[in-house]
Amino acid sequence: MRYRLGGHSRRGQQFGNRHVDADVPSSATNNVPTPDEQPTILQFRIWLKEVSPMIWRRVQVPSTMTLREFHGVLQVAMGWEGIHLYQFIVHTVRYGSWETAATSADVGLDALKLRNGSRFVYEYDLNIPWEHEARLEGRRPPKSGTHYPCCIGGDGNCPPEDSGGPDVWMRQRDTALGLKQDEDLATALKFMAEINDAKSLAIFDDPNRREELRELLDRIKERTALTGKPFERREVKKRLRQDEHLTLMHRQI
């Protein structure tokens, strides 16, 4: 599809795996688009409920995107892996994985008739649901040269998959960052100080010291994993640009 946006020729506006091109001379005043011809970008803020500190993301998507595609976008943006069932609850109607007997998620966002400020629920892993709330913050025209969908903000680590839901995970996270972690970090600092004082790695000639360090690093790694996957906006944007959301949206249909 070709949208005439006015001005000099531009190419490269993208919507998921669909590209929107603009190519019109500035003198062609009769080609100025009407509002109906302009594609619309929807901006949503999504946050994970019952979790503190808040874990949230802000995404922009085309209004022509389906809820199934939006599910894929949320998986990428939040940091999930798409291995569990999901559902949206919009205006009391459930859309999602067919195993849940929900209405098909192959419905366009534009068909939901959402108003600015409208909120709806997105649930992932229905055994012990991770409940997200999504709020439509506004509509805007697309920016030339911007790839959609895109993530423009966020904060907070995504919980690990199968970590037992909000209450269980927060307890695990707090334990991982507690006294035992402090003790292990102090031990690691002692290793570093010993190496620095000796100006040598000779301590690792002793197999017992090597094993002690290996076990220490394994414990620190395991505790770090319990804190969740860090949010990196640049990495999320890269994955969306590579259309990973189109793969994740089909893992649980």
Is the per-residue pLDDT at 64 higher than 50? yes
150 versus 199: the higher-pLDDT residue is 150
Q: Which of 130-134, 155-159, 223-227, 246-250 has the lowest average pLDDT?
A: 223-227
pLDDT, position 178: 77
Is the per-residue pLDDT at 125 higher than 80? yes
CA 59 to CA 185: how far, in whole Å? Answer: 37
pLDDT, position 15: 53
Three-class HEC string of the chain: CECCCCCCCEEEEEECCEEEEECCCCCCHHHCCCCCCCCCEEEEEEEECCCCCCCEEEEEEECCCEHHHHHHHHHHHHCCCCCCCEEEEECCEEEECHHHCCECCCCEHHHHCCCCCCEEEEEECCCCCEEEEEEEEEEECCCCCCEECEEEEEECCECCCCCCHHHHHHHHHHHHCCHHHHHHHHHHHHHHHHHHHHCCCHHHHCHHHHHHHHHHHHHHHHHHHHCCECCCHHHHHHHHHCCHHHHHCCCCC
Is the per-residue pLDDT at 140 higher than 70? yes
Q: Which domains, from first to last, does the chain contain?
A: 38-159+229-248 (3.10.290.30), 178-226 (no CATH)
Handedness of CA 61, 238, 73, 230 (dihedral sign): negative
CA 129 to CA 210: how far, in whole Å? Answer: 42
Is the per-residue pLDDT at 150 higher than 60? yes
Is the per-residue pLDDT at 175 higher than 60? yes
pLDDT, position 193: 87
- Mean of the pLDDT values across residues 4-25? 38
**Reported pTM:** 0.77
Is the per-residue pLDDT at 7 higher than 50? no
Query: How would residue 36 be classed by pLDDT, with cut points 50, 70 and 90?
Result: low
230 versus 33: the higher-pLDDT residue is 230
Is the per-residue pLDDT at 27 higher than 60? no
Contact 131, 123 (CB under 8 A): yes
- What percent of the chain has pLDDT above 70? 84
Is the per-residue pLDDT at 241 higher than 60? yes
For helices 233-241 and 67-78, what crossing angle results, to 10°?
140
What is the overall mean pLDDT for the chain?
A: 84
